[in-house]
Amino acid sequence: MKFVHIADIHFDSPFVNLSDKNILGDLRRLQQRKVLKKVIEYSKKNDIDYLFIAGDLYENKYVKLSTIEYMNNLFKEIPNTKILISPGNHDPYIKDSYYNKFKWNENVKIFQAKIEKIENEEIAIYGYGFDDFYCTDCGIDTLEIEDLNKINILVIHGTLDGASIEEKQYNSMARKMLQEKKFDYIALGHIHKLDYSSNMVYPGSAASLGFDELGEHGMIVGEITKENLQLEFVALDEEKFKEIEIDVTEVIAKEELIERINQLEIQNNEYIKIILVGSRNFEINKYELLKYIQNERIIKIKDKTKIAYNLTKIANENTLKGLFAEEMLEKLEQTQEVEEKELIEKAIEIGLEALS
């Protein structure tokens, strides 16, 4: 049996950071459509038996009817492929969701909040869907596979071995417990990072949602028998989120830094986050810098620089600057919060410049 496994496309995500840059948010949403179209074209060309969509197909809060219709029309193009959807925490099967009120094509099966099974002579596929934006008990613990001679597959959205309070709110399942169930393949969603090192597989987000999702994104394609499982990752997302570090230690003025950023070679399919590092010799206002950046593919600037002043040396001076530096050093030593330390460092920088 041949299958494709995707998850976490998040159709119609607002892409807040991109939307501030003219039409980039809209372009990213168009890329999401292109990604799903590639999935359908692959399924059509390769006679895929099942398409597993393991949750967060769309954003319940933002998704438009036109997007739902677009997806459903694509699903109609592969009538011989059974499409199994396991709703997640961003697209739960709730009363006013499109899973409930829209008439999907007949090859689409949407799992609800009770573990269901569809089967034929060789295969049994179990599935579960969120019916709320949180899930603390899907009931998988008590499930017993009825026929271990069949190829048994689970399609579900959730976290493996979730330990924190937050993780446990999104259907945390023990890896050991799932292993004991003896599924031949588990199609997971929710974690946006690719992991297919075992038969419990996260395909990652099919299209990257931001700078915390660097690298390639796409789908898992597989072929399974009772004796053998073959998996392959296929990249789909033509656009990439990328981070570039710039050391400002030798940069002496804001204008020079702006020139360096504007001289970067950036591809048209890249979204760039600039990370400033090193010791800064002038005040850096990342929001002001963005106003002077010519390339709209540069989306964010992260300032991780440290002030170049030797505060300990200045604090030993018998001057107003020395007294100021001494007091601010004490504040730095007394706080443990990263954000508070950054605010104090910025205050030191502004204060020392004013006292110079």
- Model pLDDT for residues 255-301, shown as the tens digit of each residue: 999 999 999 999 989 999 999 999 888 888 888 898 899 888 898 99
- From CA 33, how far away is CA 9, in angstroms rounded? 9
Q: Report how many domains make up the chain.
A: 2
Checking if the pLDDT of 40 tops 70, the result is: yes
| 226 and 249 both lie in a single domain | no
- Mean pLDDT throughout 240-257? 94
Asked which of 95-99, 135-139, 339-343 is least confident by mean pLDDT, the reply is 339-343
Q: What is the largest CA-CA distance in the chain?
A: 88
- Mean pLDDT throughout 187-194? 97
Checking if the pLDDT of 19 tops 60, the result is: no
| 216 and 340 both lie in a single domain | no
- Mean pLDDT throughout 142-167? 93
| 349 and 226 both lie in a single domain | no
| 230 and 263 both lie in a single domain | no
End-to-end CA distance of the chain: 74
Last residue of a domain, one of 211, 235, 259: 235
| 189 and 252 both lie in a single domain | no
| 141 and 52 both lie in a single domain | yes
**Contact criterion met (CB below 8 Å) for 111 and 87:** yes
What pLDDT shows up at residue 23?
A: 76
Structural domain of residue 333, as residue ranges?
Answer: 240-355
- Mean pLDDT throughout 316-341? 86
What pLDDT shows up at residue 350?
A: 79
Confidence of residue 315 (pLDDT cuts 50, 70, 90): confident
**Model pTM?**
0.86
| 248 and 183 both lie in a single domain | no
What pLDDT shows up at residue 310?
A: 78
User: What's the sign of the alpha-carbon dihedral 105, 108, 109, 112?
Assistant: negative
| 191 and 106 both lie in a single domain | yes
Please give the full DSSP string across 311-349, using - where no structure is assigned: HHHHHTSSSHHHHHHHHHHHHHHH---HHHHHHHHHHHH
What pLDDT shows up at residue 20?
A: 59
Percent of the chain residues topping a pLDDT of 90 = 70
- From CA 340, how far away is CA 330, in angstroms rounded? 13
Last residue of a domain, one of 191, 211, 235: 235
| 212 and 312 both lie in a single domain | no
| 76 and 210 both lie in a single domain | yes
- Mean pLDDT throughout 322-348? 85
**Contact criterion met (CB below 8 Å) for 124 and 156:** no
CATH for 80: 3.60.21.10
| Strand residues in the chain grouped as ranges (E) | 2-6, 50-53, 82-85, 108-110, 116-119, 123-127, 151-157, 159-160, 172-173, 185-189, 200-201, 218-224, 229-235, 240-247, 270-277, 279-280, 298-303, 306-307
| 250 and 162 both lie in a single domain | no
Confidence of residue 233 (pLDDT cuts 50, 70, 90): very high
Please give the residue that has the higher pLDDT: either 118 or 334.
118
